[in-house]
Amino acid sequence: MKTIRLTAAQAMVRWLSVQMTEEGDRFIEGVWAIFGHGNVAGIGEALHAYRDDLPTWRGHNEQTMAHTAIAYTKAHKRRRAMAVTTSIGPGALNVVTAAALAYANRLPVLIIPGDVFANRAPDPVLQQIEAFGDGTISANDCFRPVSRYFDRISRPEHVMTALPRALRVMTDPADCGPVTLAFCQDVQAEAFDYPETFFTPKVWKIRRPQPDATELADAISALKAAKSPVIVAGGGVIYSGAEAELAAFATAHGIPVVETQAGKSALGFDHALNFGPVGVTGAASANAVCGEADLVIGLGTRFQDFTTGSWSLFKNPTRRIMSINVAAYDAYKHGALNLVSDAKVALLALTAALGGKTWSPESNLRTAWARETAEVKAAPKNNGLPTDSQVIGAVQRTASAKTIVMGAAGTMPGELHKIWDAAPGGYHMEYGFSCMGYEVAGALGIKMARPTADVICMVGDGSYMMANSELATAVMMALPFTLVLTDNRGFGCINRLQRGTGGAGFNNLLDESYHVNPSQIDFAKHAESMGAVAIHVATIAELEVELVKAKSSALPVVIVIDTDPWPSTEAGGSWWEVGVPEVSTRAEVNAAREALVAAKTKQWSGD
């Protein structure tokens, strides 16, 4: 057996560089790295040695580097991914939030934090977390609950088992998610005689799980018996590449489709059977058909509470839930009639069995909803501060088929889900974790995955302040996108929730917080200081002009506009359960509690 002597870190990097997709690309496109004493000597040297085979990029924050990697794989429908390496201690722990984001969204990212010395000779090392009762624990054990697969490389030969296991998880549609390989820093530098066959290029094929015959027969029977079915399209439709099959299935059988945050843009907004977004941030049209449906077909969705209106949305007393999902965990939720299968395979099997059977949903619902959204997106007729929906209207009027609108937290996810007219593939929302600070880094990741797209990041001032440093990275990498920053002076979305549950305005808007000096942040100057093209506009008309100009920029463009923190789109939507205090001295809270108790009587337990 021929061998080659490499350090463990060199072996890892070399192996990653030859793991391929069916399309002939590297599955791990490259590595985001911030070097520290836990990874600079071992992994850093290896990345430099193989820099022509596996690119390395430098970010400004470990969490946002990982957000960029996550957005990249989401934009590639999980067909390609990136790795992130950090030092031990705070560098590693900065990535835990991003790992949880990837875990909740079922998205693959390879996390390689440095770890303590396996030989324990210098124990304890700088930044080491010491557990008094367990000598095997390091800070990296925090990754265990937010990793689909966790391993600690404490011998150089461990890479030969850990790496294939890692990519098996990352390429499995059912188990897909973040993988953490905690890499002991002394082991990174240790050499071993690796078999040359370990570095033979490998093609990772994404499987399409076929449905069980009995489950499929039950699903077909339920569908044939249904009088008013509806399809709840989730992110699994997009990851399966089943967009065309969904459109064909809905058209052939006249079944209305409603969209989750992750599933929005699987079907073009103008498709005759697209009844719009569903749930708490949903359209009146979508929620109406869900309320009447006797068979709710979840297609690649995990039925999050925003989708189901905390399980109050499906009001038909005879309703049944049918869940089609590659993950059995999701398919079995709430006593659903389960069909464990790839979305594309399931749709093809169901349409073959249904033959010419069709349904006829009420088409006027779509027309009425389109009219309502057009009204809230129209340019303002007065000189007051614009609403977020009016800002979205301006972006919509300047958008094209190349536009990808994206966001993550605050007001924008709800407003965009509800009123944005998404072209196929033109919507990217991180709402599985709704992580503030994802937006700027996410826009960079999307642009890396879709370089010809017109990427527009919608972000509020609160999220921008949480994490904006990868804007400088985008400038240095010459990757342009447009960032529309709505400044409503604080956390406007959560302020409305606070008030809506009877609370007093407190600690959300900047002007209602205990600060000695009022906030006077100039966001345009801040963005400009990082190298972006930046401007503050005063009106919606000015915003539209700058949006058009931004499309030809070679650098990221930041457009700041002041907005009113109070209004949100009232049309559509559904109830959402929030824990309102049972006892309070505030009459408003007591009233909100009474409303909660009354609403919970309409909640479905799934039995």
d(CA 300, CA 278): 14
Nearest to 494 by CA among 479, 482, 506, 511: 506
Helix 343-354 × helix 213-225 angle, to 10° = 50
Which pLDDT tens digit goes with each residue over 97-106? Answer: 999 999 999 9
Contact 496, 585 (CB under 8 A): no
Residue 27 has pLDDT above 60, yes or no: yes
Q: How many CB atoms lie within 10 A of CB 480?
A: 22
pLDDT mean over 350-376: 93
Residue 606 pLDDT: 60
Residue 10 has pLDDT above 80, yes or no: yes
CATH topology of domain 378-562: Rossmann fold (3.40.50)
Contact 305, 327 (CB under 8 A): no
Cα dihedral sign, 277-279-281-287: positive
Strands of 43-105, DSSP E: 56-58, 81-86
Please tell me the pTM assigned to this model. Answer: 0.97
Say what percent of the chain tops pLDDT 90.
Answer: 95
Domain span(s) for CATH 3.40.50.1220 in the chain: 213-366
Q: Measure CA of the first residue to CA of the last residue in the chain; give whole Å.
A: 60
Sort strands 56-58 and 149-153 into parallel, antiparallel or unpaired: unpaired
Which pLDDT tens digit goes with each residue over 187-240? Answer: 999 999 999 999 999 999 999 999 999 999 999 999 999 999 999 999 999 999
Domain span(s) for CATH 3.40.50.970 in the chain: 3-204, 378-562
- 294 by Cβ neighbours in 10 Å (0-12 / 13-18 / 19+) ranks as middle
Backbone angles phi, psi at 220, to 5 degrees: -65, -45
Query: pLDDT-based confidence at 266, cuts 50/70/90?
Result: very high
Query: pLDDT-based confidence at 383, cuts 50/70/90?
Result: confident
* Angle ∠(470,184,177) on CA atoms, nearest 5: 55
Which pLDDT tens digit goes with each residue over 385-435? Answer: 999 999 999 999 999 999 999 999 999 999 999 999 999 999 999 999 999
- 144 by Cβ neighbours in 10 Å (0-12 / 13-18 / 19+) ranks as exposed
What's the CATH number of domain 213-366, 3.40.50.1580, 3.60.40.10, 3.40.50.1220, 3.40.50.300?
3.40.50.1220
- Residue 385 is given by DSSP the state P
Helix 364-377 × helix 284-292 angle, to 10° = 150
Backbone angles phi, psi at 324, to 5 degrees: -105, 115
DSSP characters over 107-176: ---EEEEEE--TT-TTPSPTTPPPPTT-TT--GGGGGGGG-SEEEEE-SGGGHHHHHHHHHHHHT-TTT-
- What Å distances lie between residue 46 and 11, 31, 42, 54, 392, CA to CA? 8, 12, 6, 10, 46
d(CA 599, CA 580): 12
Q: How far is CA 569 from the centre of its chain?
A: 23
Contact 422, 264 (CB under 8 A): yes
Nearest to 229 by CA among 203, 260, 258: 258
What CATH architecture is 3-204?
3-Layer(aba) Sandwich (3.40)
d(CA 227, CA 239): 29
